[in-house]
Amino acid sequence: MSDSIALGQPTVGDEELAAVAEVFRSGWLAGAGPACRKFEERFAKTAGVAHALTTSNCGSALFLGLKVLGVKPGDEVIVGDYTFPATGHSVLQAGATPVFADVRPDIWSADPASIEALITPRTVGILAVDVAGQPGDFDEYRAIADKHGLWLFEDAACAAGATYKTRPAGSLADLAAFSFHGRKGITAGEGGALVSDRGDLIEHARKLHTYGIEPAITREGSGELPIPSFHELGYNFRLSDVQAAIMNVQLDRLPDLLAARRSVAKRYHEAFEGLAGLTVPVELPDREHPWQAYILTVDPAISRDALALRIREQGVQCNFGTYASHVQPLYGKNEHLPVSADIFGRHLAIPMHANLTDPQVERVAETVREAVTALS
């Protein structure tokens, strides 16, 4: 349908175009340049940390973080199960084994009791996911990590602008990784960031993300002819300055984008209150949810897939929530994580972005209500 309502949509305009034009005029379009450094300084403040590194995407940020934490073959990393598999992939890419923890039934982040039960002598760290952007139980995660001598890594892919007990997402662990993919709260289409209070970790990651040497900007203006030496294997995981220019404008927009998403979430809550067959997502009182996604839980008596198809027929985009990682064939897991497996089959994401108008929100709500009623 020509008037289809998108599941996700970026908010971009003339300001982003002007920022890109400025980069064009500067002549520095490549990665890890002045626009990247400007964004890194600003985003570190947003995340409540001292240091930030821009990356090509969140997957590369996760991988770099694991590498600088010293993850190696034979290690085990406990990962919250309900997540896009980029989280588990990064552990495999680092040579280690992801061990998936079941999740809370209300906010879908890793259950601390499940994490504790999975720790073995091979466990080196905990990779906790902010599902749909809402942070998990980081005080409990930190207590477990400290008790067992583990590091703690926050997969904050969806969490720009979120808070946990007034602390910003990104400041809740030893390291955190963010995504700037097109469906995230702020976006350059692709991109990511690795953030931390530990300058040693970020500077090591900075070398690794440029083939194992310092980025070229660090040599600009030198009175000599510095020739870098390669001491370890690195990668090309840099964000371009074109993307960084967009991200600097997106960061300016962040408060308004968050306010718009929170307004949409409030209207959805009101629209679905008391509707049998659906449960609305939970925002815990000690956290601020950035609403990267709005995910409904469908009653077992209703086919989630049939409901999705019926909603799509009316020109409203929708999709499953995210993945129960442990059931993906790649990982070869035999265990059953009941909570994650259950919500994987019952979650339904409906349109959530900052561009939704009041009439569109009402149309989405009415379409969902009618479809649920018809299938009940």
pLDDT digits (tens, 9 = 90+) for 271-316: 999 999 999 999 999 999 999 999 999 999 999 999 999 999 999 9
CATH code of residue 303: 3.90.1150.10
- 169 and 196 assigned to the same domain: yes
The number of beta carbons lying within 10 Å of the beta carbon of residue 205 is 26
Specify if 7 maps to a domain. no
Q: Which residues are catalytic?
A: 184
Widest CA span in the chain:
75
Q: What is the DSSP letter of 211?
A: T
The parts of the chain modelled with pLDDT lower than 50 are 1
Place of tokens 């469906």: 183
Q: What is the DSSP letter of 206?
A: H
- 187 and 129 assigned to the same domain: yes
Looking at residue 2, what is its pLDDT? 57
- 136 and 68 assigned to the same domain: yes
Specify if 263 maps to a domain. yes
Specify if 89 maps to a domain. yes
Reference 366, options 291, 289, 270; nearest CA is 270
Whether the CB-CB separation of 304 and 320 falls below 8 Å is answered with yes
Looking at residue 196, what is its pLDDT? 98
- 246 and 261 assigned to the same domain: no
Whether the CB-CB separation of 308 and 317 falls below 8 Å is answered with no
- 55 and 169 assigned to the same domain: yes
- 242 and 370 assigned to the same domain: no
Specify if 8 maps to a domain. no
Whether the CB-CB separation of 292 and 265 falls below 8 Å is answered with no
Looking at residue 94, what is its pLDDT? 98
- 233 and 261 assigned to the same domain: no
- 319 and 305 assigned to the same domain: yes
Give the domain range for residue 188. Answer: 14-251
Question: Which tokens belong to 21?
Answer: 């034009």
- 71 and 158 assigned to the same domain: yes
In a 13 Å sphere around the CA of 194, the CA atoms on its Cβ side amount to 33
In a 13 Å sphere around the CA of 88, the CA atoms on its Cβ side amount to 23
H-assigned helices in the chain: 14-26, 34-47, 58-68, 86-93, 112-118, 138-148, 199-208, 241-272, 304-313, 338-346, 358-375
- 281 and 241 assigned to the same domain: no
- 283 and 140 assigned to the same domain: no
Specify if 2 maps to a domain. no
**From residue 337, how far is each of 105, 140, 254, 277 by CA, in Å?**
11, 20, 36, 23
Looking at residue 219, what is its pLDDT? 79
Residue that finishes a domain, picked among 188, 218, 251: 251
Name the domain count of the chain: 2
Reference 245, options 90, 34, 13, 80; nearest CA is 34
Specify if 5 maps to a domain. no
97-101/76-80 β-pairing: parallel
Reference 36, options 143, 188, 156; nearest CA is 188
